[in-house]
Structure 1
Amino acid sequence: MTFAVPATPALNARIPGSKSLTNRALLLAAAADGPSALGAPLVSDDTTAFREALRGLGVRIDTAEDDPDAGDDSVWTVHGLGRGPAGAATVWCADAGTAARFLPPFAATGHGDFGFEGSDQLTARPVAPLAEALRLLGSDVTTGPGGRLPLRVRSRGLDGGELTVDSSLSSQFLTGLLMAGPLMRGPLTLRVPELVSRPYIDMTLALMRHFGADVQEATPGAFAVRPTGYKGVDLPIEPDASTASYVFAAAAVTGTSVRVAGLGRASLQGDLRFTEVLARAGARVETTDEATTVTGTGALRGGFSVDMGEISDTFMTLAAIAPLADAPITITGVAHARLKESDRVAAVEGNLRALGIRTETGPDRITVHPGAPGPARIVCHRDHRIAMAFSVLGLRAEGITLDDPGCVAKTFPGFHEELHRLFPRHSVPTT
């Protein structure tokens, strides 16, 4: 089934703020000297967990949700400590991987005794490389069995120094250490032999500089951070490019046109490059300074292989719609996606096979063949991206339902309502 290219104006999608930008900005603002106003932050399970964790570390954050006198509910005002935290606290990270990876280095630059705990899902994710890096910098760190949560930091500040960081599993380990660098007593040099998700490091560096840090990449994979501290500044949060991938893909497979304002050429988010993959699959893409628009052309092209290692949060979006293409699509470079909220490669493969779609996988790849998806209940594994990706396929395939539609609250609580608003004539699986 194909769709005519629309002659009507593009639909304007309402995409919430970037989780990656919101949580990084929260931490940098918490470490800064002076207040910072974060405009249009993402309000979701992950970001509120991160915000509450910072409050547990003694950071004051004003929101209209908590205090009607705080002003505009689309702004969070963070009153920075100007240093690392002090005292003692046990911090609940919930499901937020960014909290478990970013906050321990921040705590290590302070003075006190801080514990970090999380849900069973988060506890299953590794933190051993981060713990070892903090020990080598002089911090007293212990972890739970297998190098996982709970993690405890007894902090007396960090002197800085030189360190080689294992970032082959997650770029979040490097991000947490980089953001802590300006709070150390001396310069920090981090060398990274192998790095996944490079665009997230570029985002981190840009935000650190926005808050006044002096950080340089002298040679590829070698980062130098000076102990400058941070200054409070205001920051508008862009719409989430990873989340936008779902409405862009939906436009591609339904033959409609969708525009996301605020995601333009200057975006800090690497996942906007997902639109380049959609263009390769036959969609029309227009990116201006102000917005990005994707228009479906009536068919989805396959017959190509694409390395999505640097935009791995969007690989599931492509894999979920790949059965609608006219030839197989192979996605490579996603071995680290097996260590996210779920083993995402295995989860996508299992759900596609339940739909009757032929797939082949390897340690870092998946090939999806064309086919007619049959009815099936998608197993979400409490993973928001699995739920949202297969919801897009549900716009073109009848009988798809989700076993946990509510898990989208991790990053986009209103996802199902927005998808129905944009595509009311297509089936949307919400139960």
Structure 2
Amino acid sequence: MITEKEPGTGLAARIPGSKSLTNRLLLLAAAADGTSTVRAPLVSEDTVAFREALGVCGIPVKTGPGDAFWEVTGTGRGPTGSARPWCADAGTAARFLPPFAATGHGSFLFDGSSQLRARPQRPLLDALRALGVDLEPGPGNGLPLLIRAQGIEGGELSVDSSLSSQYLSGLLMAAPLMRRGLRIRTGSLVSRPYIDMTLALMQRFGARVDESADGTLTVEPRPYDATDIVVEPDASSASYVFAAAAVTGRTVTVPGLGTDSLQGDLRFVEVLRHTGADVHVGPTATTVTGNGPLRGGFTVDMGEISDTFMTLAAIAPLADEPITITGVAHARLKESDRVAAMAENLRACGIETTEGPDRITVHPGVPRPTRIACHRDHRIAMSFSVLGLAAPDTITLDDPECVAKTFPEFHDEMRRLFTGHALR
């Protein structure tokens, strides 16, 4: 991680907890033997959906005053009984909870919104079938998904993680509850930092994991230990205030995100450094200061931090030369086809933009008045809100409330930090 100039005096951004961490911690706490405390969790549509799905499966989650902490009481094994968990729009719920449920005993019918039903599940289903799980998927191998759970023996498995790392994370977190544990060969893998996050959190809960030189992961069978843990601010959400600092020339610090962060998306500040921003990553905070017009003229592979590629694409018109982003083919399979959606909206803004299967190139330009099509995708709305700071009164959003998926207070916080320029 880069450590450049010492941070200047700037505003401290109030970034909510990490969604990726919160939902992983909920799953691990549910699988642990005893009561775990998840402190400073993200409270958003996705995490509440995950929490409520656990409750439906018979795993109580007690909320502290003001949601300052959540207490999860697990039994050290998979759930039992019959339940119909609702995943809403949460991809992590649809990918993490079925393997966990399969380690238990009973009948579990997972379903979600039409948007979530459209997202791919087949690699996870193929892996569960290979492990002997009795399941019945919906049309196109998606949701609704019925799991008839009788525990999982475990053993050896190959997983296709070329579309999403969430399949692998879900299987890994369930592995200690399998009777023989699990040995996984991963092959092609996207978003490796998210797997590193999963493994680090599993080990915090007492899991024993070994990775061989060829990338094979071996997880021993043993119950998880209950744990007390604090959720970091969300690095993906922080990308918007960091980018906004870069385009407005201001200084913004995010406390709680530093050199020991578990989140790969903090590497987005390295990309901002390429655009000319001043960046300091310290032990307990990260600061970005805008330093004049953005520099372009480079190509960057953002495959491992793809949730932030849209942040860069949205501000790329403000650079002095084109910027090309590569490695993001799997971003076409998220809440929307994010590559196509970014290109479509940028062109609507009058910005020359080209795309390929795994890339997008954005040319310099002055945005014209445009109503952004958010496609119910929170990251599209937040990314174009940053562009709107540099082009006041030109950018509006057709669905500003979709940010509630991960950052309910986004618009208010942008107003606070950037005085009257954030979009609504």
1:380 matched residue in structure 2? 374
Shift of 1:10: 1.2
Q: Report the Cα distance in structure 2 between the residues aligned to 1:254 and 1:29, rounded to whole angstroms.
A: 41
Match of 1:351 among 335, 342, 345: 345
User: Does residue 91 of the first structure (1) align with residue 85 of the second (2)?
Assistant: yes
Report deviation, 1:81: 2.1
Would the aligned equivalents of 1:29 and 1:35 in 2 still touch at CA under 8 Å? yes
- The residue number in structure 2 matching 1:68 is none
Counterpart check, 1:56 vs 2:56: yes
Matches of 1:271 and 1:252, distance apart in 2: 17
Task: Tell me the amino acid that sits aligned with residue 273 of structure 2.
Answer: A
Taking only the aligned residue pairs, the percentage that are identical comes to: 69
Partner Cα separation in structure 1 for residue 272 and residue 165 of structure 2: 25
Q: Measure how far apart 1:370 and its partner are.
A: 0.2
Moved more, 137-146 or 116-125: 137-146
Cα deviation per residue 1:331-367 (whole Å; 9 max; x = unaligned)?
Answer: 0000000000000000000000000000110000000
Partner residue, 2:296: 302
Which residue does 2:153 correspond to in 1? Answer: 159
Q: Which structure 2 residues correspond to residues 286-297 of structure 1 after superposition, within 5 A? A: 286-297=280-291
Distance 2:187 2:76 in 1: 32
Whether contact under 8 Å (1:263, 1:292) holds in the other structure is: yes
Partner Cα distance (2:275, 2:108) in 1: 48
> What residue is the counterpart of 2:11 in the other structure?
11
TM-score (norm 1): 0.96
* Paired letter, 2:370: A
- Distance, in Å, in 2 between the alignment partners of 1:287 and 1:335 is 29
CA distance in 2, matches of 1:367, 1:204: 32
Distance 1:331 1:265 in 2: 25
After TM superposition, give the deviation of residue 72 of structure 1 in Å: 6.1
Matches within 5 A, 1:20-31: 20-31=20-31
Partners of 1:115 and 1:187 in 2: CA distance: 25
Aligned-partner residue type, residue 328 of structure 1:
P
Structure 2 partner of 1:412? 407
**1:147-296 alignment runs, 5 A limit:** 147-296=141-290
Deviation at 1:175, TM superposition (A): 0.3
CA offset digits 1:10-65 (Å, max 9, x no partner):
1100000000000000000000001111110000000000000000110011013x
Structure 1 residue 8, shift from structure 2 partner: 6.8
Task: Pick from 90, 98, 107 the counterpart of residue 104 of structure 1.
Answer: 98
Kindly indicate whether residue 68 of structure 2 is the aligned counterpart of residue 78 of structure 1: no
Q: Secondary structure at the match of 1:349?
A: helix
d(CA) in 1 for partners of 2:389, 2:181? 52
Taking structure 1 as reference, are residues 115 and 287 closer, same or farther at Cα in structure 2, changes over 3 Å only?
Answer: same
Moved more, 346-355 or 72-81: 72-81
Aligned to 1:37: 37
1:311 aligned counterpart, secondary structure:
helix
* Distance in 2, Cα, partners of 1:375 & 1:221: 49
Aligned to 2:395: 400
Question: What displacement does 1:187 show?
Answer: 2.4
2:325 is matched with 331
Amino acid paired to 1:379: A
Q: Which residue identity is paired with 1:326?
A: D
Does the Cα contact within 8 Å between 1:100 and 1:116 map onto a contact in 2?
Answer: yes
1:350-402 superposed Cα distances (whole Å, 9 cap, x missing partner): 00000000011000000000000111000000000000000000000131000
Partner Cα separation in structure 2 for residue 406 and residue 75 of structure 1: 25
What letter matches 2:177 in structure 1?
A: L
Given the alignment of the two structures, is residue 422 of structure 1 paired with residue 420 of structure 2, yes or no?
no
> In the TM superposition, what are the counterparts of 1:117-156 in structure 2 within 5 Å?
117-156=111-150
Contact 2:376 2:399 in 1 (8 A): yes
Equivalent pairs counted in the alignment come to 418
Alpha carbons 1:192, 1:222 under 8 Å: kept: yes
Offset at residue 429 of structure 1 (A): 2.0
SS at match of 1:212: coil
**Alignment deviations for residues 148-184 of structure 1 (CA, whole Å, 9 cap, x no partner):** 1111110100011101101010000000000000000
Give TM-score, length-normalised by structure 2: 0.97
1: CA distance, partners of 2:223 / 2:178: 8
In the TM superposition, what is the alpha-carbon distance from 1:221 to its structure 2 partner? Answer: 2.4
Q: Secondary structure at the match of 1:159?
A: coil
For residues 107 and 181 of structure 1, the distance between their equivalents in structure 2, rounded to whole angstroms, comes to 12
Q: How far apart are 1:82 and its partner, in Å? A: 1.2
- CA distance in structure 1 between the aligned counterparts of 2:399 and 2:66, rounded to whole angstroms: 32
In terms of mean alpha carbon deviation, does 194-203 or 75-84 score higher? Answer: 75-84
Q: Which amino acid aligns with 1:104?
A: P
The alpha-carbon distance between structure 1 residues 263 and 8, as it changes in their structure 2 partners (threshold 3 A), is closer
Per-residue CA deviation, residues 181-207 of structure 1 (Å, 9 max, x unaligned), is 000000210001100000000000000
Name the SS of the counterpart of 2:371 in structure 1. strand
Q: Which runs of no fewer than 5 residues in structure 1 stay unpaired?
A: 65-70
Offset of residue 299 of structure 1:
1.3
Query: Shift in Å at residue 229 of structure 1?
Result: 1.6
Paired with 1:15 and 1:369, the residues of 2 have a C-alpha distance of 30
Q: Is the 8 A contact 1:167 1:194 kept in 2?
A: yes
Tell me the residue number matched to 1:342.
336
User: Aligned to 1:394, what secondary structure does the other structure show?
Assistant: helix
User: Could you list the runs of 4 or more consecutive aligned residues of structure 1 that deviate by over 2 angstroms after TM superposition?
Assistant: none
CA distance in 2, matches of 1:221, 1:89: 36
